[in-house]
Amino acid sequence: MTFGTRESSRYSGIPVTLFLLQGAENPTADVPLGPYAFCDGETAIVRAGITYQPWPIKHSDLSHDGTLDKSDITVSLALGSPLDALFLAYPPSQVVNLTIFEGHIGDAVTPENFPATWMGRAVGGGYEDNELHLSGVPVSTSLKQPGLRRNYQIGCPHVLYGSQCLANKAAATVSRAVASVDRNKITMAATLGATYGQYIGGLVQWANSTTGQKELRTISAVHPAGLIITIRGAGRGLAAGTVLSISRGCNHQMSGCNLHVNSVGGGPNIQNYGGQPFIPLENPLSLKNQFY
């Protein structure tokens, strides 16, 4: 039978759901994330070369009412899968795509008989009652974002090292070896130098010593002498001797932009500053600007 025939039948349908989680395609990733494939059936199912192993797993109700208001879902699965460590304490650094397929036992496992009924991203996880609960948002979520991103503001709204910022990330990155790790505090073998304060709000990246996958964290503090940095989130896969790539941050003001080098023509990156630093503090009616 076909998927449509099974769906319209009163008695012959034996529904089964497939769950696929894997990292978004990234050519620069050394080790891809996943795939992690599960099904709620009793036997393994192979679809498009990926084996979906039986596992206690389910998802919340799907909405097909034509709006985006109720498209978010929650996937719940029993503990004991490789996903437990992946979302423990801190979500993965890579984007995790989540795809749900639906079909029927007894049908040939083809894209037509097992179509995708939901596609999106797994953005977070929580643990409750011996279950892992994954929060999923659909690919259509981006349609909810407002069209106007830049406001009339003094600060720069550009994403640091992004396509509009154009700051040279390689020129602002140094390598340091880990001496020791204490939770989210990393002691390095060498100091960041006299300008260690510029790394606050920057990025630190390393290869997970267990999986080899890249981990990325934000630097929340740099301690005196520049030997210790505090990161936001758990230092997963960190060990003594791990090599860190540490990139400077930016205060999104003109003073911070001048410290970065432009990735195209060199020189200070101030030409790409996205704010409006010369907003007048007094309007023509001599009324004080209450916002600045």
> Which residues are CB-neighbours of 266 under 8 A, at least 6 positions away?
none
Q: How many domains does the chain have?
A: 2
Residue 132: CATH number of its domain: 2.30.110
What was the pLDDT predicted at 145? 58
Which segment, 3-7, 16-20, 104-108, 143-147, is predicted with the most confidence on average? 16-20
Residue 180: CATH number of its domain: 2.40.10.190
What was the pLDDT predicted at 267? 87
Residues 126 and 177 in one domain: no
What was the pLDDT predicted at 284? 67
| Interior angle at CA 17, CA 11 and CA 23, nearest 5 | 165
The average pLDDT across 11-17 equals: 80
The average pLDDT across 26-55 equals: 85
Residues 113 and 194 in one domain: no
Asked whether residue 265 is assigned to any structural domain, the reply reads: no
What was the pLDDT predicted at 229? 95
Residues 182 and 124 in one domain: no
Asked whether residue 132 is assigned to any structural domain, the reply reads: yes
State how far the Cα of 76 lies from the Cα of 271, in Å rounded to an integer. Answer: 49
* CA neighbor of 78 nearest in space, from 127, 117, 36: 127
Q: Residue 204: is its pLDDT beyond 90? A: yes
- pLDDT by residue (tens digit) across 157-186? 999 998 899 999 999 999 999 999 988 899
Asked whether residue 211 is assigned to any structural domain, the reply reads: yes
Q: For residues 142 and 154, which has the higher predicted lDDT (pLDDT)?
A: 154
Q: What is the domain extent for residue 43?
A: 13-142
To which residue do tokens 């496992």 refer? 109
What was the pLDDT predicted at 6? 60
Residues 134 and 23 in one domain: yes
What are 175's strand-pairing partners?
A: 245
Q: In a 10 Å sphere around its CB, with 0-12 CB exposed, 13-18 middle and 19+ buried, how is residue 139 labelled?
A: middle
Distances (CA, A) of 51 to 46, 56, 66, 172: 4, 16, 32, 43
The average pLDDT across 224-231 equals: 91
Q: Residue 11: is its pLDDT beyond 70? A: no
The one-letter code for the residue type at 166 is L
Q: For residues 78 and 140, which has the higher predicted lDDT (pLDDT)?
A: 78
Residues 177 and 133 in one domain: no
What was the pLDDT predicted at 235? 85
- pLDDT by residue (tens digit) across 263-291? 888 889 999 999 998 887 776 666 665 66
Residues 131 and 232 in one domain: no
Residues 137 and 183 in one domain: no
Residues 102 and 174 in one domain: no
Pairing between strand 116-128 and 131-138?
A: antiparallel
